[in-house]
Amino acid sequence: MFLNTKTIIGHKLSACDGDIGHVRDFYFDDKTWAVRYVVADTGGWLTGRNVLISPYAFGFFDALGKVLPVNLTRRQIENSPAIELHRPVSRQFEENYYRYYGWPTYWEGGRLWGMTDFPAVTSASPLNSPSLFEYDRWDDVHLRSTQAVTGYQIVASDGPIGTVSGFMLDDRTWAVRDVVVETGHWYAGKEILISPCKVDRISYEDSKVYVNLTKSDLEHTGKNEVVQAVA
């Protein structure tokens, strides 16, 4: 099933032994286009503390009840490494985080989730295995907030085409399947879906996403309110 981040933000998170708060944000890896964490706002339960929860712990999203199950206990989450939202997530934090939960790291092993294409714990250790996704430095900033990128201007090769309004996620791999774009008057304000493979680069300094498409490419993809961009 595909999920739109803008419809999940604010929904409940439920641990094995009770509610733990709600979804505040998603952090995605801008090299692999996979969601690596949900930012959980724990509210009064942990005196307003925010924690990261990896898809390794996710159950299937309950669209009817508007709940994302988390296969952890409240105590596990309470004792997990704390984050500071105003600072980038460091690799040192992630090392400590994965060591705490006993999960394999996603950046070693060569596949989307280390040794697999799904966030599943296996008996095989990915440590010291070659990686297909290169991270330049130990402190390389590669995790981005979907909330922060929402609102970025989308720029085609022949000019602006709209703004980012959300991200479509695959709830099995937790990969970003499409960027949801709200178009302007040139396309009657409709929403379109653009595959990450068409994204040339994201300029965080300018708040813009540059895509390898033209307006003509997008106008000929279909007449539905939400259409798929040319592959």
Provide the pLDDT for residue 207. Answer: 97
Tokens 């898809």 belong to 55
Q: What are the CA-CA distances from residue 8 to residues 22, 45, 163, 197 (Å)? A: 9, 20, 19, 24
Q: Give the residue, 108 or 169, on which the prediction is more confident.
A: 169
- Residue 118 pLDDT > 50: yes
- What integer is the mean pLDDT of 136-162? 84
Q: What is the mean pLDDT of the chain?
A: 85
- Kindly give, in sequence order, each residue whose CB lies less than 8 Å from that of residue 209, ignoring residues fewer than 6 positions away: 149, 152, 153, 154, 155, 164, 179, 199, 201, 202, 203
- On the question of pLDDT at 148 being above 80, the answer is yes
Of 121, 143, 165, the last residue of a domain is 143
| 129 and 183 part of one domain | no
Q: What pLDDT is attached to residue 45? A: 86
Q: Considering only CA atoms, which of 53, 65, 44 is closest in space to residue 23? A: 53
CA dihedral 221, 224, 227, 231 (to 10 degrees): -30
Q: Between these two residues, 55 and 86, which has the higher pLDDT value?
A: 55
DSSP helix/strand/coil, 96: helix
Q: What is the pLDDT of residue 141?
A: 64
The tokens describing 50, both together, are 């925010």
Answer yes or no: do 132 and 160 share one domain.
no
Structural domains in the chain (count): 2
221 confidence band (pLDDT: 50, 70, 90): low
Q: Is a pLDDT exceeding 50 seen at residue 225?
A: no
Domain termination site, one of 111, 143, 175: 143
CB 54 within 8 A of CB 36: yes
Do 116 and 191 fall within a single domain? Answer: no
We report the CATH number of the domain holding residue 218 as 2.30.30.240
Find the domain containing 165 and state its range. Answer: 150-228
d(CA 70, CA 14) in angstroms, rounded, equals: 6
Is 136 found in the same domain as 155? no
Is the model's pLDDT at 125 over the cut of 80?
Answer: no
Same domain, residue pair 105 and 51: yes
pLDDT at 81 over 60: yes
CA distances from 70 to 121, 181, 225 (A): 15, 29, 33
**Mean pLDDT, to the nearest integer, of 29-42?**
94
Q: 121 with 179, same domain?
A: no
Instruction: Assess whether 156 and 86 both reside in one domain.
Output: no
212/108 same-domain check: no
| Cα–Cα separations (whole angstroms), residue 34 to 21, 174, 206, 229 | 23, 6, 23, 19
- Are 71 and 165 contained in the same domain? no
Does 207 lie in the same domain as 154? yes
Give me the pLDDT at residue 127, please. 41
Return the pLDDT at 222: 42
Q: State whether 57 and 28 are in the same domain.
A: yes
Q: Are 157 and 133 members of one domain?
A: no
pLDDT at 54 over 50: yes
Distance CA 195, CA 81 (A): 33
What gap in Å lies between CA 183 and CA 188, rounded to an integer? 7
